[in-house]
Amino acid sequence: MTTVSLDDVRAAHDLLSTVAVATPLVPSRVLSEQIGGPVLLKCENLQRTGSFKIRGAYVRIAGLSPRERAGGVVAASAGNHAQGVALAASMLGCKATVFMPVGAPLPKIAATRGYGAEIVFPGPTVDDCLLAAQEYADECGAVFIHPFDHPDVVAGQATIGLEIMEQCPDARTIVVPVGGGGLLAGIAAAAKGLVKEAGGGQEIKLIGAQAKRAAAFPASLAAGRPTQIELEPTMADGIAVGRPGDLTYAMFTELVDAVVTVTEESISQALLLCLERAKQVVEPAGAAGVAALLEHAYAVEPPVVVLLSGGNIDPLLLSKVLRHGLAGAGRYLVVRCRLKDRPGALVTLLGELAELGVNVLDVMHERVAARLHVEEAEVLMHLETRGADHSEDVIGRLREKGYTLTLS
């Protein structure tokens, strides 16, 4: 049995009635066309603090005794849980100390400080922060607010499941980004609890989406127990967790139907799709569910609800990820082109590109290098095209005209 019941979730929902926003469910025409049925986006990127985390943090801290609150709370987070804990603690009148990874996004750091928390940077990963935060809690007597592996936190996140089932009663699949698992465990408890309470006539499938470079759940489910994995760098820092929680793992084995992994390319294309087509700003971790639809459309049955779990993205990272997504969609090219080193050669090349309808974003012209012959020059160009077919046509036409090209 799970340790988070439908009654727990309803109690959390009542507690959060004046704290959390009931976020909208927005239809996505482009995703609906891709899978052949309705797809709706649950926009927790529009939640207070920019992610779902305020829900679980508030429920957990609200459940502390006055004496526990007086001793303060401590948390570990790449940014979203940090903001949730900081805001919840300030609303409930207790001190918050948050351990964040070195290199955490600057807007998340600034927002966490803005909510009144003290920040410590113990190491490069969330797992480093978890260890340091637990040590701090033991030494100072503060209450450790785990980002996912506590029944109160799971119950708080589960309130999203109540909202989804109220907003889309006929949902057949819910796709959720997964890090440590508290979000999906809670949503699964709520959704399947409601289905069971109604008599079990409706089938509903819960699918988790993990970054391929930080996929602890597939390894753990295969091993039959929570298993620590070595993380690889991923743009989806918010779901880069090396080991599932004991509680969340147990709930997954009972309630979650599948966990799929998504590549960095799919995440960047999903983020681009959210921005361009759904007009939603999301962070890479928040777009993992959309990436799962792009890679694993066969695994879902409509109507599908996809959770956008957070929108706290550094503008500098956003610009990089968008370029990555444009490149993946064939709309952004980085090309090296060899030319004869003579007057007018570069102008001629740029004229050819203009005739082909290419937007030249950047040009670097090099005339002296060991790899070049005396009569050669090389141009590094960043190009914007209308898509993959246009890109192929541009490359083919330039090669037909005798240009030597290398794609970067």
Question: Which residues make Cβ contacts (< 8 Å) with residue 160, sequence separation at least 6?
Answer: 23, 42, 44, 52, 55, 183, 186, 187, 190, 307
Q: Are residues 352 and 252 in the same domain?
A: no
Which residue of the set 77, 220, 309, 391 is catalytic?
309
Q: Does a structural domain hold residue 256?
A: yes
Q: Are residues 123 and 257 in the same domain?
A: no
**CATH number (domain holding residue 338):** 3.30.70.260
Q: What is the reported pLDDT for 2?
A: 58
**CATH number (domain holding residue 207):** 3.40.50.1100
Q: How far apart are CA 167 and CA 38, in angstroms?
A: 13
For tokens 């957070």, what's the residue? 310
Q: Does a structural domain hold residue 1?
A: no
Is the backbone peptide bond immediately before 303 cis, with ω within 30 degrees of 0? yes
Domains contained in the chain, number:
3
Q: Does a structural domain hold residue 371?
A: yes
Q: Are residues 91 and 164 in the same domain?
A: no
Q: Are residues 113 and 163 in the same domain?
A: no
Q: How far apart are CA 317 and CA 331, in angstroms?
A: 19
Q: Are residues 246 and 261 in the same domain?
A: yes
Q: Does a structural domain hold residue 250?
A: yes
Please give the model's pTM, rounded to 2 decimal places: 0.86
**Of the residues 291, 326, 361, the one at which a domain ends:** 326
Q: Does a structural domain hold residue 403?
A: yes
Q: Are residues 258 and 310 in the same domain?
A: yes
Asked if 279 and 26 count as a contact pair (C-beta separation under 8 A), the reply is no
309 part of the active site = yes
Asked if 239 and 256 count as a contact pair (C-beta separation under 8 A), the reply is no
Asked if 217 and 244 count as a contact pair (C-beta separation under 8 A), the reply is yes
Question: Which residues make Cβ contacts (< 8 Å) with residue 195, sequence separation at least 6?
Answer: 201, 202, 203, 204
Residues of the chain short of pLDDT 50, as ranges, are: 1
Asked if 80 and 105 count as a contact pair (C-beta separation under 8 A), the reply is no
Q: Are residues 307 and 192 in the same domain?
A: yes
pLDDT in tens, 347-376: 999 888 999 999 998 888 887 776 777 778
Q: Does a structural domain hold residue 318?
A: yes
Q: Are residues 256 and 337 in the same domain?
A: no
Q: What is the reported pLDDT for 375?
A: 78
Domain containing 275 equals: 6-50+151-326
Q: Are residues 236 and 311 in the same domain?
A: yes
Number of Cβ within a 10 Å radius of residue 65: 9
Q: Are residues 170 and 223 in the same domain?
A: yes
Which residue of the set 53, 108, 192, 205 is catalytic?
53
Q: What is the reported pLDDT for 206?
A: 98
Q: What is the reported pLDDT for 294?
A: 96
pLDDT in tens, 280-314: 999 999 999 999 999 999 999 999 999 999 999 88
**Of the residues 326, 348, 367, the one at which a domain ends:** 326
Q: Does a structural domain hold residue 293?
A: yes
401 part of the active site = no
Q: Are residues 178 and 272 in the same domain?
A: yes
Asked if 385 and 358 count as a contact pair (C-beta separation under 8 A), the reply is yes
For tokens 């399947």, what's the residue? 192
Quickly list DSSP for 62-76: HTS-HHHHHT-EEEE
**Of the residues 326, 351, 377, the one at which a domain ends:** 326
Cα-to-chain-centroid distance, residue 283? 5
Q: How far apart are CA 314 and CA 316, in angstroms?
A: 5
Question: Which residues make Cβ contacts (< 8 Å) with residue 271, sequence separation at least 6?
Answer: 282, 283, 284, 287, 290, 321, 322, 325
Q: Are residues 114 and 238 in the same domain?
A: no
Q: Does a structural domain hold residue 115?
A: yes
Q: How far apart are CA 291 and CA 266, in angstroms?
A: 5
